[in-house]
Amino acid sequence: MTNHITMQTIDTDGAIQEAADLTGMDTRADFFRKSIYAGGSLLAGGVLMGGMPALANAKPSAKQDIAILNFALTLEYLEASFYKQAVASGALSGAAADLAKVISKHEDDHVKFLKKALGSKAVKSPTFDFKDTVTNQDKFLATAFVLENTGVSAYLGQAGRIKNPAYLGAAATILTIEARHSGAIAQLTGKAVSPDGSFDKGKSMGAILSAVKKTGFITG
């Protein structure tokens, strides 16, 4: 495998080919051309195009579960690396430093769990550059709040598309922890504990990956 998400690492079991078939496209190349790219590498895994009606209405399947778990793993890689670098920088202090250490442990555990669940089908971690968001405490807290809420929206957006009950249960337990992280950071910074009000909103894989791409954090 390469060090970032490519066509080969994503479509290990034909999930993207299945998605292409569902949309009536002749080849995977047709599907890829309509997907999300960054630096020539595919940032999407399996069935990621929430804006495509045929995929949005696709029935849950074992192949789709693999795509969703690799999507989740990529987000967990990002979060785990973000907190690890922030803690290692020594730039954080007080409650922010304490919370970062706790969350860092959680994100590492999430990565290990998802990699174990995926086995040989797990994608490798991309490389990241978080710039000064891991060395400036104010920027760290602001970024952490966004990342945690992105995680909540990502897991919630895929909950109804997971077939395997065990995977669904696991995703739910990670979702609640991400929400607790968000709440803790909100209290620490004076932000709204529930940005979306009384009900959280799920987002499609395409929307999440587009937002992550815009941060510029994924470099390869």
Residue 175 has pLDDT above 50, yes or no: yes
For position 35, what pLDDT does the model report?
Answer: 40
Q: What number is the average pLDDT over the span 152-170?
A: 91
What predicted TM-score, i.e. pTM, was given to this entire model? 0.73
CATH 3.40.50.300 fits 59-215, yes or no: no
Residue 206 has pLDDT above 60, yes or no: yes
pLDDT tens figures, 20-57: 444 344 444 444 344 433 333 334 333 333 333 333 44
For position 51, what pLDDT does the model report?
Answer: 32
> Which distant-in-sequence residues (6+ apart) come within 8 Å of 198 by Cβ?
none
pLDDT tens figures, 59-107: 678 889 999 999 999 999 999 999 999 999 999 999 999 999 999 999 9
| Confidence at 196, pLDDT banded by 50, 70, 90 | confident
Choose between 115 and 19: higher pLDDT.
115
Residue 200 has pLDDT above 90, yes or no: no
User: Which pair of tokens denotes residue 18?
Assistant: 């299945």
Average pLDDT across the chain, whole number: 79
Residue ranges covered by each domain of the chain: 59-215
DSSP per-residue letters across the chain: --SS--HHHH-TTSHHHHHHHHHT-SSHHHHHHTS-EETTEE---SS--TTSHHHHTPPP-HHHHHHHHHHHHHHHHHHHHHHHHHHHHT---HHHHHHHHHHHHHHHHHHHHHHHHHGGGPPPP--B--GGGGT-HHHHHHHHHHHHHHHHHHHHHHGGG---HHHHHHHHHHHHHHHHHHHHHHHHHT--SSTTTTS-----HHHHHHHHHHHT-B--
For position 30, what pLDDT does the model report?
Answer: 42
Amino acid at 134: V
Amino acid at 76: E
User: Which pair of tokens denotes residue 213?
Assistant: 């791409």
DSSP per-residue letters across 127-152: -B--GGGGT-HHHHHHHHHHHHHHHH
